[in-house]
Amino acid sequence: MVITGASAGIGEALARELHKQGARLVLGARRLDKLEDLSLSMGKAHVCVPCDVSKPEDCQRLIQAAIDSFGRIDTLVCNAGFGIGRLSAQTTPDEVRSLFDTNLLGTTECVRHAAVVMKGQERAHGFRGQVMIVSSAAARRGLPMLGVYSATKAAQLVYAEALRVELAPSHIAVTTVHPVGTKTDFGTVAKQQGQAFDVPGRSLFQQTAQQVAGKMTRAIRYPVRECWPFWPIRYALVLNAAFPSLGDWVMARQFREIRRKLG
C-alpha cells in the first residue's frame, strides 16, 4: 500500500494502523527524516520515499518505488495536502496554484501512474487495486476563509466520481474520504503559510487522526464509494444541498466568529 503524506497526521496514523494489520507500506512525504523515524518505530519494515507530490516526477518515482519493492500496489492512498486560510477573494495566484498543485495535481499524478500498474495486476478479494483519495467534508460545502482549499477538495471529489466509473470495468475500486476537523498539524501548517486565525467551532465534532485512520482502514478492507469518518455530517450536507440558505446561515456564524477573533 502506498500512502502520500505519511510523515504526519492522518497519513501517519493510517500507516501505524495498517502496519498493525500486517500491511507492507510505501511511505511518501517531503520530510524523509520523519518517514524514517516512523518506519523505525514500526520495525523498519517499510519503504520510505522522499516525495513532493506537487512535482509530477516525484509522483512517478513514488509509484515506481512501490513496484520495485513489492511488484504490485493494492491500495494507493492520496492523502498529502494542506490548506491556507484566506478571504477567498484575496487568495493570490501563487497560493491558488500551490494549493491545487499539491491537493489536486498530487492526486491525479499518483493515480495516473498507479492505474496503469493496477490494471495489469491479478485480482485479490475481487479487486485489482483501490485508489483512496483523502478529500474533506468541505468538498460538499465551501468553508469561509478556506474557499480555495475547499475548491481543491471538491475537485478531488468530482475527479474521483468520474474515475470510479471509468475504473470499475477494470475492477479497481475508488474511495473518497471526507473527514471533518481532525487533530493534526493541519492548523500549524496553515499558520506557517500565513493564516492568522484558528478555525473556530472545530472542537464541536473534532476527531483524532486515529479515529479517521480506523474508518479508512475499514474502507480499505471493505471498499466503499465514500468514507465519512464522522457520519452525521454527511446527512447535514444533504440538507445543505437542498437548502443552501441554511448552509449559508451556519457558515455566516462561523465567519463572524473568525472576524471577531481577528479583531
Where in the sequence numbering do the catalytic residues fall? Answer: 149
Q: Which of 14, 38, 48, 80 binds ligand NAP (CB under 6 A)?
A: 80
39 near ligand NAP, rule: CB under 6 A:
no
- Residue closer to ligand NAP by CB (options 91, 128) is 91
Q: Which of 1, 7, 49, 143 binds ligand NAP (CB under 6 A)?
A: 7
234 near ligand NAP, rule: CB under 6 A:
no
Taking CB under 6 A as the rule, which mask of x and - marks residues 186-215 in contact with ligand NAP? Answer: x--x--------------------------
Burial track 212-245 (b if 16+ CB lie within 10 A, e otherwise): bbbbbbebbeebeebbbbbeebeebbeebeeeee
Which sign does the torsion angle of CA 179, 227, 160, 60 carry? positive
176 near ligand NAP, rule: CB under 6 A:
no
53 near ligand NAP, rule: CB under 6 A:
yes
Element (H, E) at 72: none
181 near ligand NAP, rule: CB under 6 A:
yes
- Residue closer to ligand NAP by CB (options 11, 223) is 11
Please enumerate in sequence order all residues whose Cβ is within 8 A of that of 172, keeping only pairs 6 or more positions apart, or say none: 115, 118, 119, 127, 128, 129, 130, 131
